[in-house]
Amino acid sequence: MQEILNQLGELVLGSIPTVCFFLLLLLAYSALVKRPLAKVLAQRHARTGGAMDEANRAIAAAEAKSADYEQRLREARGKIFEARAARQKANADARDHAIAAAREQAQRSITAARDSVTAAGDQARQQIESGADALSDRIVAAILPHRAQQGYGVQA
pLDDT tens readout for residues 80-135: 999 999 999 999 999 999 999 999 999 999 999 999 999 999 998 888 888 877 87
Q: Which among 136, 132, 154 has a CA at the least distance from the CA of 145?
A: 154
Angle among Cα 87, 90, 92 to the nearest 5 degrees reads: 105
Q: Counting every residue, how long is the chain? A: 156
pTM: 0.41
pLDDT of 25 reads: 93
132 and 139 in contact (C-beta within 8 Å)? no
- What is the average pLDDT across 30-34? 91
pLDDT of 156 reads: 44
